[in-house]
Every structure is written in structure tokens, then in C-alpha cells.
Amino acid sequence: MEKDPTVVARLFQEREEENWRFRTFLRMTSCSRAKINAAAEHFAREAAARMDCLQCAACCKQTRPPVDATEIGRLAARLNITSDAFVERYVAENDFGERCIEEIPCPFLDGNRCTVYEDRPDPCRGYPYIGGAITEHMLDILERASTCPIIYEMLEKLKAHLGFDRYAP
């Protein structure tokens, strides 16, 4: 398993066209959605068990977690400032109009450690969402696979498991 997120990003880029073909393959295959999703979850859990996220932190360096009012209040209390001050200092709107942490890398990252771990936003807690139905969210999966060694490994294992021919035209 490749655990270095910079190598994963490069490999993903090299396989970008192949990954789009795999997305189409998943739509056309006769294998049931339930079987694909169960296999994907199995491979992702296996990869997660082998990965030490403290050696990576790519998600904290490359994504902007959305934050709702509750999460803003929780983080503001932790920093001993008001929610308004927190929004002013740390929050922006993403392309979907959601409020999110503005800076990349996340301003609460110190080295590879989250300094607000117990109060981190809920999207950080779920990342990289390994139990979801991947067949319904392939765009999100491909985006995560470009960053996260766990999801990249899952994707590669799934290709092999389903007999996807990466060299087919």
C-alpha cells in the first residue's frame, strides 16, 4: 500500500483518464451495486487499518471542512472567543455556499496533529467516509482518492477485484 500522500497524488494524476473509465465501468458492470459497495467498504477498512493518519494529514492540508453553527460554537468556545469572532477569523463560503474553514492547510493543524481534535468539525470525524455507497458518489470518491491513501488503495483494489482492465482503450 502506498502511504505517502504526495506519491498517491502523483499516481492518481497519472491514472486520471483510467479512473474516469472505471467510473463508466461501474455503471455498466453486471455486478450488483450492493456487492460493489460491500467490497469497497471491505478494502477501505483494510487500508484504514494499515494507515497511520498521523503520518499523513493530507486531508487537513488539502480540504476545507464545512462548519455549521454548532461546530462554530464548539470551536469558538475552545478558543475562548465568540462565534462571531471565530467566523470573522476562520470561516469563508465554499463553492456550494456552505460555510467552511477558510485556510488551507487547516489553521488548527500543527505538524500532522489537530490542535482542536476533541472539538473538530463533524466532517473531519467522518473523513474519508469509508462506509458509504461508493456507486452513488463516484465523483466524491475520485476526489478523495486523489488525496487520501486509504481511498486510493480501495479504488485500486476494487479495480482488480472487479476485473477492470486498466489498459483497455
List contacts with ligand SF4 (CB under 6 A).
5, 51, 53, 56-60, 65, 106, 108-109, 114, 116, 120-121, 124, 127-128, 147-150
**CB closer to ligand SF4 out of 26 and 106:** 106
What's the chain's length in residues? 169
Q: C-beta of 23: minimal distance to ligand SF4 in Å?
A: 20
**CB closer to ligand SF4 out of 25 and 146:** 146
Q: C-beta of 2: minimal distance to ligand SF4 in Å?
A: 11
Decide the pairing of beta strands 91-93 and 99-101. Answer: antiparallel
Nearest 5 degrees, angle CA 76-CA 78-CA 80? Answer: 65
**CB closer to ligand SF4 out of 31 and 73:** 73
| Residue 113 vs residues 60, 73, 90, 109, 143: alpha-carbon distances, Å | 9, 21, 18, 6, 23
Q: C-beta of 45: minimal distance to ligand SF4 in Å?
A: 13
**CB closer to ligand SF4 out of 26 and 75:** 75
| Residue 145 vs residues 79, 86, 107, 115: alpha-carbon distances, Å | 32, 31, 23, 25
Amino acid at 16: E
Question: For 37-65, b where at least 16 C-beta lie within 10 A, e where not — what string?
Answer: bebbbebbebbbeebebeebbbbbeebbb
Amino acid at 33: R
**CB closer to ligand SF4 out of 31 and 91:** 91
